[in-house]
């Protein structure tokens, strides 16, 4: 029996979702940062800055940046961890990883870069002080498996940080829907010549677990002291949890 899952609002075979998500990010990689600025009016930079502050990286820390994409978090973490630290910039999508790697190198940051699947992390148990995933969890087929892997590779006392689009404040829901399903695909067409990928991104946000559900999922894989911070009225949320 073939297992199925969601690709936006469409029900597809699990292996088909992996291919379709890969196609989306191969398509948008070159324009990803530009589109992020357009999509969020630059707010994604503030959300990432808040995540970086909450991470509390210190010199010598080992850090894993999952779905690191164009490298915003990896860049900040590498500067904070310093030469005695170890920051891994990873992504499952080769196009995104190449863009991020080149961007980091152009800014003089040399850090390990690896193509890897968050559901099957190639790192030993209890290795990292911090693990982060920004705007990547909603694209994963088995979110519970990915969260369990993230906990596995954390050291006791280590922290997981999950930054993701979430459930917006109810009074803003209608205008947010209009923006997401009308303006966003139009922007995708004009800026990246790809309306369909950005229509999927809008749908994937709606299919992602809300704040409380994701909190429960993190607790179910064994993370403790799980909390979340709503950002911009819940357009995004940062969840954190500790491995005890």
Rounded CA separation 152/89 (Å): 18
Query: Would you call 108 helix, strand, or coil by DSSP?
Result: coil
**Is 117 among the annotated ligand-binding positions?**
yes
Where b means 16+ CB within 10 Å and e means fewer, 23-47 reads: ebbebbbebbbebbebbbeeebeeb
Residue found by looking up tokens 């600025």 in the block? 37
Rounded CA separation 30/167 (Å): 28
Task: Please list the alpha-helical segments (H only) found in 29-142.
Answer: 32-40, 43-55, 72-81, 94-106
**Is 118 among the annotated ligand-binding positions?**
yes
Query: Would you call 228 helix, strand, or coil by DSSP?
Result: strand
* Annotated binding residues for S-adenosyl-L-methionine: 70, 91, 117-118
* Annotated binding residues: 70, 91, 117-118
């Amino acid at each position: 029996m073939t297992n199925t899952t969601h690709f936006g609002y469409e029900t597809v075979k699990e292996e088909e979702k992996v291919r379709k998500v890969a196609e989306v990010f191969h398509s948008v990689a070159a324009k990803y940062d530009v589109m992020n600025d357009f999509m969020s009016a630059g707010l994604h930079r503030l959300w990432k800055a808040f995540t970086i502050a909450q991470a509390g990286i210190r010199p010598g820390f080992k850090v894993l940046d999952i779905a690191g994409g164009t490298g915003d978090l990896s860049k900040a973490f590498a500067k904070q961890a310093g030469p005695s630290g170890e920051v891994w910039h990873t992504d499952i999508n080769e196009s995104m990883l190449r863009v991020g790697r080149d961007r980091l190198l152009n800014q003089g940051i040399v850090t390990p870069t690896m193509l890897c699947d968050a559901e099957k992390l190639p790192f030993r148990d209890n290795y990292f002080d911090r693990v982060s995933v920004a705007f990547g969890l909603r694209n994963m087929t088995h979110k519970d498996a990915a969260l369990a892997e993230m906990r596995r590779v954390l050291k006791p006392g280590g922290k997981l940080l999950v930054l993701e689009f979430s459930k917006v404040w109810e009074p803003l829901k209608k205008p947010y829907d209009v923006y997401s399903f009308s303006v966003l695909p139009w922007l995708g067409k004009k800026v990246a010549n790809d309306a369909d990928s950005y229509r999927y991104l809008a749908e994937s946000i709606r299919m992602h677990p809300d704040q409380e559900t994701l909190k429960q999922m993190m607790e179910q894989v064994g993370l403790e002291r799980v909390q979340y911070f709503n950002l911009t009225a819940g357009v995004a949320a940062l969840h954190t949890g500790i491995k005890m």
